[in-house]
Each structure stands twice: as C-alpha cells, then as structure tokens.
Amino acid sequence: MTRKTTGPSTVENDMTPMIDVTFQLITFFMFVLNFSEAEQDERIQLPASQLAKPAEGVLETPITMQLTATGGVLYAGEIVPVDQITTPLRREREIIVAAGKDPKQATVIVRADGRASTGDVQRVIRACQEEGFERFALRAHYEPE
C-alpha cells in the first residue's frame, strides 16, 4: 500500500516555553544583580582595615566621592581637582533641594584610594560640609585578622 502525500508538511515550533524561560532568567538576574558595585571604580584601591564593616541598609540619597591616588576626585565619570569640587557639590545640593529633600539627610560616601593624601580627604569632607552635607560614610576594604 502506498501512501499519498498532498504536499510539503511544515512543523511549527511553539516558542512560548522558550520565551517564558528567557523572561524568568532576566527576572532572576535583575534580583541577583548587585547595584552597590555600580558606584565603584577599579582605579580606586581602598585601604585595608580590620575594623571596616559592610554598609547598613540602603542609603536614601547617596553621593559618592572617589579620591584617586594622584589627588583628584572621580565624580560623575570625570576627575575633578580637590580644590574645585565645590561646584559639583553645589549642583548636587541644588538637585536634592529641587527634589524636595533635605541635603542634611544625604549621605556622602567617601571612597579614597589607600595612597591618597589624608589632607585631600579632609578637604573633600570640609567642602561637603560647607555645602550643607552632614552625613558621611568612609569606605575601606575589610581584611580579617
């Protein structure tokens, strides 16, 4: 007995399970992604400390200042000399005030390279205080004993 075919048959794959798995993977990686590393730069090598502890919770209005070993401040992707940091800080304060928040409640995160001058760190903190910022968090690399 011979079988007659009426023409070419096509098989269509159901892509719904593949799309569903893709969306689940995207959702999984969005939950696992650590956004706290987004403000870090590999050019800044934090000093080691046995007293360093991880940040407690999420900061509401963080402002990150990263001091390089050469004496500049890495801010918004640009290196700004320490003595000229007041202009970006003033802009940052204006943005916070325009959003209806208090600059005194913002936290300035200072990530200074281990080879940076202590005087530069103090000058950055002083400039922040002159612009109305009162909360500070200093970052260091934790090294257990």
Arithmetic mean of pLDDT, 50-63: 65
Rg from Cα positions in the chain:
26
pLDDT higher than 50, residue 37: no
pLDDT at residue number 108: 87
Q: Grade residue 136 by pLDDT with cuts at 50, 70 and 90.
A: confident
Strand partners, 75: 78
Report the b/e string of 67-95 with b at 16+ CB within 10 A: bbeebbbbbeeeebebeebeebbeebbee
**Residue ranges covered by each domain of the chain:** 42-142
Strand partners, 107: 62, 135
C-alpha span between 29 and 140 (Å, rounded): 27
pLDDT tens, residue by residue, 91-111:
989 998 999 998 888 888 888
C-alpha span between 39 and 103 (Å, rounded): 20
- What's the mean per-residue pLDDT of the chain? 78
Q: Grade residue 38 by pLDDT with cuts at 50, 70 and 90.
A: very low
Helix (H) or strand (E) holding 137: strand 135-138
pLDDT at residue number 75: 80
C-alpha span between 96 and 40 (Å, rounded): 22
pLDDT higher than 80, residue 6: no
pLDDT tens, residue by residue, 109-133:
888 888 788 888 889 899 999 999 9
**Secondary structure letter of residue 24 according to DSSP:** H
State whether the Cα torsion 49-51-54-60 is positive or negative: negative
pLDDT at residue number 130: 92
Q: Grade residue 39 by pLDDT with cuts at 50, 70 and 90.
A: low
